Structure 1
Amino acid sequence: MRLRPATVPALRPAVAGVLALILFALGGTGAAQAQDVAFQSVRSSPDAPVTVTSDELSVDQGTGIAIFTGNVIVVQEGLRLNADKVTVDYVQGDRMQISTMTADGNVVMVSPTEAAQGDHAVYDVPGGTVVMTGDVLLTQGPNIMSGPKLTVDLRSGTGRMEGGGGRVRTVLQPGAQGSAP
């Protein structure tokens, strides 16, 4: 597992805080197969309006699938997601209700105190969960956590970094003041 440099300036400070607290929670081992994470400001209501901005939009009227490409920005309450491409699937029979939003390529999810980046993310809007995969890098304050899969429950403000076939890695900044995982 490699740690990538942050592509969004807010990622670096956010990652450092999370990692310090996680290492403390792990008793200094620095690695685990799965780790629960508190998301203090990632709570969002699936019923809140979703705003999507992109360079291009393609809609298939037959299936009702909308594909946003090029510098895609999705905003819902205090949560922001950026990606190269976002595919929106609607609830069958109701093209006014979003079922899922699938983000691909340079995916970055940012809240006021956390930031995560990965290769792919699926936002289950009715379920209120975001699952991010592919070399996920999470920052909270000065701490950093990485792993193959991050699941965030937007209703409860909780998350879980899972190792799957890999391992969860944390980097904690001793003496750093940051938010707790």
Structure 2
Amino acid sequence: MIRVLTIVCALGLATSLAAQGTEVAFGAVQQDTSLPVEVSAQSLSVSQNDGSALFTGDVVIGQGEMRLSAPRVLVFYTKDQSGIERLEATGGVTLVNADQAAEADTAEYEVNRGTIRMVGNVLLTQGANTLVSDTMDVDLENGTARMNGRVRTVFQSGDN
């Protein structure tokens, strides 16, 4: 009876998660967004006109413990070219921070704000638990993420 009640409660909670945004922890520690951003890729194309750089082919972005990978990443530099303003990753994106990983169709990293917005078929894996949503907004400095748009999850019972 207790197991049935637990399952019913979990289903009720999962239904409420689907109806509204959900805030979850992301990353074991807060990310220092002032750390250097390292980029590796197969090729690079730079545009002096708009202050951007296009990295393609197995692109990996690293900053501290965080890793973001995608087939294509467009980098926009600050107006004075002293740093990176934002990164736009497309073609299937994977974000790893500590023991957590997230996947999405696209991602935009606002470096100065310390935020990442992942869009399209978002899948967040935290140990044995997974959450799925339409979008996920990550606040790296606080180590939190907010999932929105038809959030779904499955809770593992204590017996599994």
Do they superpose with TM above 0.5? Answer: yes
Report % sequence identity.
44
The aligned length equals 151
The residue that corresponds to 1:132 in the other structure is 118
Rg: which structure is higher? 2
The residue that corresponds to 2:69 in the other structure is 82
Aligned with residue 84 of structure 2, among 98, 101, 126: 98
Structure 2: runs of 5+ lacking an equivalent = 1-8
Give yes or no for contact 1:83–1:103 (8 Å, CA) kept in 2.
Answer: yes
For 1:171 and 1:96, locate their aligned partners in 2 and report how far apart those are by CA, in whole Å: 45
The residue that corresponds to 1:121 in the other structure is 107
Give yes or no for contact 2:26–2:97 (8 Å, CA) kept in 1.
Answer: no
For 2:21 and 2:101, locate their aligned partners in 1 and report how far apart those are by CA, in whole Å: 19
Give yes or no for contact 1:116–1:137 (8 Å, CA) kept in 2.
Answer: yes
Give yes or no for contact 1:32–1:169 (8 Å, CA) kept in 2.
Answer: no
The residue that corresponds to 1:9 in the other structure is none
1:27 aligned counterpart, secondary structure: helix
Structure 1: runs of 5+ lacking an equivalent = 1-22
Please say if 1:36 is aligned against 2:23.
yes
CA RMSD of aligned residues (A): 2.0
For residue 131 of structure 2, what is the amino acid of its counterpart?
A: M
How far is 1:106 from its partner? 1.4
How far is 1:28 from its partner? 4.8
For 2:104 and 2:117, locate their aligned partners in 1 and report how far apart those are by CA, in whole Å: 10
1:25-52 per-residue CA deviation (whole Å, 9 max, x = no partner) reads 9635363321011124263222101110
For residue 126 of structure 1, what is the amino acid of its counterpart?
A: N
For 1:149 and 1:40, locate their aligned partners in 2 and report how far apart those are by CA, in whole Å: 17
How far is 1:110 from its partner? 0.6
1:99 aligned counterpart, secondary structure: strand
The residue that corresponds to 2:41 in the other structure is 54
The residue that corresponds to 2:13 in the other structure is 27
Give yes or no for contact 1:142–1:176 (8 Å, CA) kept in 2.
Answer: no
